[in-house]
Amino acid sequence: MSSINIKNFVSDHYSAQDFSHLHWTGNFQDYIDIVMKNPQVSRNSFQRVHDMIMSFGTSKYTEYKKEITRYHFFDDPIEDGKDAIFGIDVHLMKLVNFFKSAAAGYGTEKRVLLLHGPVGSAKSSIARLLKKGLEHYSKTDEGMLYTYEWFDDHESDILGGAKVFPCPMHEEPIKLIPLEARVKLLEEINAKADGFKVNVKGDVNPACRFIFEQYMLKYKGDWNKVIEHIRVKRLVLSEKDRIGIGTFQPKDEKNQDSTELTGDINYRKIAQYGSDSDPRAFNFDGEFNIANRGIVEFIEMLKLDVAFLYDLLGASQEQSVKPKKFAQTSIDEVILGHTNEPEYKKLQNNEFMEALRDRTVKIDVPYITRLDQEIRIYQKDFNKDTLPVHIAPHTIEMASTWAILTRLEEPKKADLTSMQKLKLYNGKTLPGYNEDNVKELRKEAVREGLEGISPRYIQDKISNALVKNNHVGCLNPFMVFNELESGLKGHALINSPDKLDQYKELLAICRQEYEDIIKNDVMKAISVDESAIQTLCANYIDNVKAYTQKEKIRNKYSNKLEDADERFMRSIEEKIDIAESRKDDFRREIMNYIGALAIEGKQFDYKTNERLHRALELKLFEDQKDTIKLTTIISNVVDKQTQEKIDVVKSRLVKNFGYCDICATDALNYVASIFAKGDTVAQKN
């Protein structure tokens, strides 16, 4: 085995030139030249976050006749989808609109952004994405920003006996220009700028202010000489290095200390400087301080002690904080908190917290209520690339279906089941329901997505099922159903027997749905000819059209005009329990739906009408099932000819439907047992 030349290996994957680019330094004039060429380097934190999100691009789609924007940033392109957010694009649009308004200076930059939703609804993922995105963006040429440090060729008493004193809050260098001159300078820059206008607010922090004044005294007010002690440098934001990105997590109330937010006195330096009010003896390392120019995240924000919440008032509205023994200190950062519903209700009911409520913009982050988006969450972790065993078709889908059913409100319409509502939300169509009806359903259900089972529970139970059934070689929905049900009794968030019973009933509904799906898969494998279904559908539609419009239909064999074939139409409608008294309504609904599509310039596709699709498949299966007796599968004796037919069906399940040999065999056995029960019942009757 040949050894690796580590120097060459690192050189191939690491660039010293990139390092130098990210650690650029220059004098104050160099920086002003940069600002003249690229004014956006002086953006505030809200502008930077908004531009960072937009830099990844957008796409648009229409849902319920409303245009929705999908921001690709939330697909997490930085880490290939590790923290991707699915299914809540409308809420993410509200989030981006908050940043857009704040970036324009419309007032939301003076607010605390609060992500509110149930546990496991991606609040932390959104916060993690924003922090990660800012780190990445600050390393790009498009997102570069700068700060400064003081330096002296000799060890200076002004710098505390050091040669270098970095700005402790990574501030914008333009703040060092006296206010009167700064206003004029910005006017000059903005007069030549195309589009973006530079607007630097606030003063330097107490430590830099003190050093600035000491140098001004030394040089008798000559600002030009003072500024020779300033070195401007590129600023790369980093949560690990506590530069521009801060995170604060509540601790035990007895151990909470507001200095964790605004910094504290460095007692070792008091002896050096002679006073605890000397700003050089103060550590500006609180979360508010180090997060300047970027973002500070408050985990479970409303669990904070009241004293901490008071700090948030000034930090948001006044955009300043009050370190111990020093004046108000300007900050420029996004204040992002997240909390769950019980904590938010406490805030609403606490009249002493009215000021904080007034300074808070709440963005709801609910659970997903669209099936195809929920499935994407689990497919990210459980797929053929990450697992040593095969996952049977519909396994993830069934777990996702149950999760969403627990989050949906009971439909108010008597003719609509929860499962049908779920399918409508997922883009399926039902007779009597169009986009406007579905939009109305969503409006009626104001609590939908704020309660129910979290994705974490589903992930945990799928993991348990994988561990328990690893030896089988294939994970199927029944294994997952068993884990989901067995874990309900110990679920910490199910606090009533009624809720437990409700979730078990929904599992029973999912089991029945899976039974229908697996039967359908086997039926398709037996009657696999798609063109045959299309022909059957076209024939049915022709007959329905003739029936509803009281016309004749031409017989393709005799070429004679005949009445619509009532027996043929009923043979299909009976498959989905359309009663004789309801047949006219059903046929009119089909024709009205086709007509509505035609008006929109769309063509009818039987696959979009779930009930009709189901009826056609059942009809075709009935016409062809006699070619293979499924019930013989579970008998001990299977003749060679039947076995060959069974093997063909099994191979179709594997090739066309994603089954493996294990789950295809299980599917056939299960469906055969269902038909065997049906035959037994039929014989008894």
| pLDDT per position as a tens digit, 18-34 | 778 899 999 999 999 99
Percent of the chain predicted with pLDDT > 90:
51
Distances (CA, A) of 449 to 66, 244, 439, 625: 20, 34, 15, 42
- Strand 145-156 relative to strand 162-166: parallel, antiparallel, unpaired? antiparallel
Q: Report the C-alpha gap between 33 and 37 in whole angstroms.
A: 6
Which residues have CB under 8 Å from 534's CB, separation 6+? 606
304 alpha-carbon distance from chain centroid: 26
Task: Report the chain's mean pLDDT, rounded to a whole number.
Answer: 87
CA-CA distance, 452 to 494, in Å (whole number)? 9
Strands 112-116, 334-339: parallel, antiparallel or unpaired by DSSP? Answer: parallel
120: left (phi over 0), alpha (psi -120 to 50) or beta: left
| Residue 297: partners with Cβ closer than 8 Å, 6 or more residues away | 127, 131, 246, 247, 248, 336, 337, 338
Residue 631's pLDDT is what?
Answer: 54
381 and 367 Cβ atoms separated by less than 8 Å: no
The confidence score (pLDDT) of residue 194 equals 81
pLDDT band at 684 (very low <50, low <70, confident <90, very high): very low
State yes or no: pLDDT of 589 exceeds 50.
yes
pLDDT of 517 reads 92
- Whether the Cβ atoms of residue 45 and residue 295 lie closer than 8 Å to each other: yes
Proportion of the chain above pLDDT 70, given as a percent: 92
pLDDT category at 685 given cuts 50, 70, 90 is: very low
Residue by residue, DSSP assigns 105-170 as TSSGGGSEEEEE-STTSSHHHHHHHHHHHHHHHHTSSTT-EEEEEEEEEEEETTTTSEEEEE-TT-
- Smallest Cα–Cα separation from 369: which of 97, 121, 125? 121
| Cβ pair 45, 334 in contact under 8 A | yes
Contact residues for 601 (Cβ-Cβ < 8 A; gap 6+): none
Instruction: Dihedral sign for Cα 605, 607, 610, 612, please.
Output: positive
Q: What pLDDT sits at residue 568?
A: 87
| Those residues with Cβ within 8 angstroms of residue 227's Cβ, 6 or more apart along the chain or in another chain | 28, 176
pLDDT of res. 599: 85
Instruction: Dig out the tokens for 416 from the structure.
Output: 């609509």
Which residue did the predictor score with more confidence, 158 or 307? 158
List CB contacts of 368: < 8 A, sequence separation 6 or more.
86, 87, 88, 374, 377, 404, 407, 449, 455
Amino acid identity for residue 486 in this structure: S
pLDDT digits (tens, 9 = 90+) for 368-394: 999 999 999 999 989 888 888 999 999
Among 477, 170, 193, smallest CA distance to 296 is for: 170
- The per-residue pLDDT for 611 is 78
Are 642 and 632 a contacting pair, CB within 8 Å? yes
Question: What confidence score (pLDDT) does residue 10 get?
Answer: 65
Tens of pLDDT, residue by residue over 508-553, are 999 999 999 998 888 878 766 677 788 888 888 888 888 988 888 8
SS3 assignment, position 334: strand
Read off the pLDDT of residues 127-172 as tens digits, 9 standing for 90 and up.
999 999 999 999 999 999 999 999 998 877 899 888 999 999 999 9
For residues 650-675, average pLDDT? 88
Provide the pLDDT for residue 313: 85
Q: Are 574 and 614 in contact (CB under 8 A)?
A: no
Determine the pLDDT at residue 635. 54
pLDDT of residue 681: 40
Q: Is the dihedral of CA 497, 499, 505, 510 positive or negative?
A: negative
What pLDDT sits at residue 273? 83
Q: How far apart are CA 264 and CA 256, in angstroms?
A: 13
Predicted confidence at residue 319, as pLDDT, reads: 93
pLDDT of residue 528: 62
The burial class, CB within 10 Å (0-12 / 13-18 / 19+), for 181 is exposed
Model confidence at 557: pLDDT above 90? no
User: Cβ distance 35 to 185 under 8 Å?
Assistant: no
The predicted-structure confidence for 188-236, as pLDDT tens digits, reads as follows 999 888 888 999 999 999 999 999 999 999 999 999 999 999 999 999 9
Indicate the angle between helix axes 640-657 and 497-526, nearest 10 degrees. Answer: 120
Q: Do the beta carbons of residue 136 and residue 48 sit within 8 Å?
A: no
H/E element holding 260? helix 259-262
607 pLDDT higher than 80: no
Checking if the pLDDT of 352 tops 80, the result is no
Position 682 scores a pLDDT of: 41
DSSP3 helix / strand / coil % (the chain, rounded to 5): 55, 10, 30
Interval 393-419 mean pLDDT: 93
| Model confidence at 680: pLDDT above 50 | no
Q: What is the pLDDT of residues 356-373, one digit of tens each?
A: 888 899 999 999 999 999
Give which of 391, 399, 372 is closest to 457, Cα–Cα. Answer: 399
Measure the CA–CA gap between 190 and 196, rounded to whole angstroms.
8
More confident residue, 14 or 567: 567
- Tell which wins on pLDDT, 446 or 51: 51
Instruction: Evaluate if residue 627 carries a pLDDT over 90.
Output: no
Q: How far is CA 559 from the centre of its chain?
A: 58
> In the structure encoding, which two tokens stand for residue 360, read together?
């808070």
Tell me the pLDDT band of 251, cut-offs 50, 70 and 90.
Answer: confident
Nearest by Cα to 406 from 340, 517, 487, 499? 499
Torsion angle in degrees (nearest 10) through CA of 538, 543, 547, 548: 0
Q: By the 8 A CB rule, do 301 and 337 touch?
A: yes
Burial of 471 (0-12, 13-18, 19+ CB in 10 A): exposed
